[in-house]
Structure 1
Amino acid sequence: MKIGYIRTSTGDQVGAGQREALKAAGCERIFHDKGVSGGAVSKPQLERALKAASEGDALVVTRLDRLARSMKFLIEDVERIGGLGIDFVSLHEAIDSTAPGGRLFFYISAAYAEFERDVIRQRTKEGMAAAKRAGRPVGRPPAITDARWPGIRQMLDGGMTITAAARTAGVPRQAIYRRLEADAEVGG
C-alpha cells in the first residue's frame, strides 16, 4: 500500500497540489501535517502515517523538503522509515528507496538540497549586511514605534496591566515586555 504524507509549513497553505499528486501516484491514505515547519521535531501526522504503514508499504511525498529541511534530519527520517520495513518514495526527485540506485540518488539529492539552502542562507546574510551598511532597516519593524510608546507607557504608569494595555493598543504583550526591558537597559 502507498501512504502519502503532506506537510504545509503555514496554516494558510492547503496542500491541494500535494494531495492531487499523491492521489495520482496511487496513495490510498494521505496524512497532512498543517502549519508544521520542516525543521520541527514533532510531526504528529507523519507519526500516524508510519503507524498506519505495514512492512512492505511505501511512504510517498511530493518533494524531499516535505519530509525534512536538513540533510541530517532527512537521512535520519529515511533511515528510520527503512528500519520499519517501509519504502520511501519522493515523486519530484524520482527517488524510490526500494532500489540501490534510488538510495544513492536520495543521498545525492539530499546533499544538493542542503547545499542550495546554504547558498540561499548565505546570500540572505550578505544582503542583510549590505542593507545595514547602507543604513537601511533590516528585519521586521517593531510592533511599538517610538511615537506610540509614550501612550502605552502612560497606560502602564496609570496602573493598567500589561495585558490590558496590549489589548487597548493592539500590540502583542511580548512587544511591551521587550520595550520595558530596553528602557531598563538604557536607564541603567
Structure 2
Amino acid sequence: MAVYGYARVSTQDQDLTIQVEALRAAGCEIVREEKASGTSREGRQELDTLLAFLRPGDTLMVTRVDRLARSIADLQDIAKQLKARGVALKATEQPIDTSTAAGKAFFDMLGVFAEFETSLRRERQMEGIAKAKAAGVYKGRKPSVDAQAVKALAAEGLGATEIAARLGIGRASVYRALGAGA
C-alpha cells in the first residue's frame, strides 16, 4: 500500500519543483515527473510506467486533476483503470475521493473544467494568430530546408537521395522543396 506521485507540466521551460515538493510532503514515496502536454496520453511514458506499476491498495497522488489529464475522456479512462485495479486517486489541492458519489461528481466536474480551460486557451491562441496574420506579423515557422540549395543540387543532376544526404534532410523534404517552385 504505497503512495506514488505524478507531476506534470506542459512545456520544457516550466518547473516541476513545486508539484514534486507538494507530493513528497503528502507522503509520496516515489514521484514520477514529466514534461508533456496533458491534452493527450500520447507520449507520456512516465504516466504509462506509473499506471502499469500500481498495485491494488496503492494510491496515485497528483496536485490537481489537470496534471493527470486535460480531457474529460482521458481523465475518466484513467480513473476507470485505477478503480478496476483497486488503486485510489487523490489530489493534494482538491478534495477528491472517487469512491463516493459526491466525490465522483466533483472529480468529473474538475475534469470538465480542465477540458474547458484547454479549449478556451486554444481559442485565444487561434484568435491571436488570426490577428497577427491580418497585421502581417505572423508568417509561420521559418523554413528549415533551404529550397534554393535543393534546387541548385537538383540542377547539377543529383538525385533526391544524394541531395538529402548532402544537406542532412529527408528525401520527402527534397521532393517538397522541388515541388514548391514548380
Shorter-chain TM-score: what band? Answer: 0.7 to 0.9
Contact 2:132-2:138 at 8 Å conserved across structures: yes
Q: Is the partner of 2:141 in helix, strand or coil?
A: coil
Q: Normalising to structure 2: TM-score of the pair?
A: 0.78
Higher relative contact order (CA 8 A, sep 6+): 2
CA distance in 2, matches of 1:120, 1:12: 18
How far apart, in 2, do the equivalents of 1:43 and 1:123 lie? Answer: 26
Matched, 1:91 2:92: yes
Matched residue, 2:53: 52
1:17-62 Cα deviation digits (max 9, x unpaired): 3322211110122233x45432133544333323432222211112
Q: Distance in 2 between matches of 1:29 and 1:36?
A: 19
Q: How many residues align?
A: 176
| Alignment correspondent of 1:142 | 143
Cα gap change, 1:123 to 1:44, in 2 (>3 Å): closer
Q: Deviation digits for residues 92-148 of structure 1, max 9, x if unmatched?
A: 33423244433221111111111111111112222222222333334322224xxx5
Counterparts of 1:91 and 1:64 in 2: how far apart (Å)? 10
Structure 1 segment 8-157 matched on structure 2, within 5 A: 8-10=9-11, 15-32=16-33, 34-38=34-38, 39-41=40-42, 43-144=44-145, 148-157=146-155
Tell me the percent identity: 35
**Structure 1: runs of 5 or more not aligned:** none
Question: What is the root-mean-square deviation of aligned Cα atoms in Å?
Answer: 2.7
In structure 2, do the counterparts of structure 1 residues 175 and 11 end up closer, same or farther at CA, with 3 Å as the change threshold? farther
Unaligned runs of 5+ in 2: none
Distance 1:132 1:180, change over 3 A: same
Q: TM-score, normalised by structure 1?
A: 0.76
Label 1:36 to 1:129 Cα distance change in 2 as closer, same or farther (>3 A).
closer
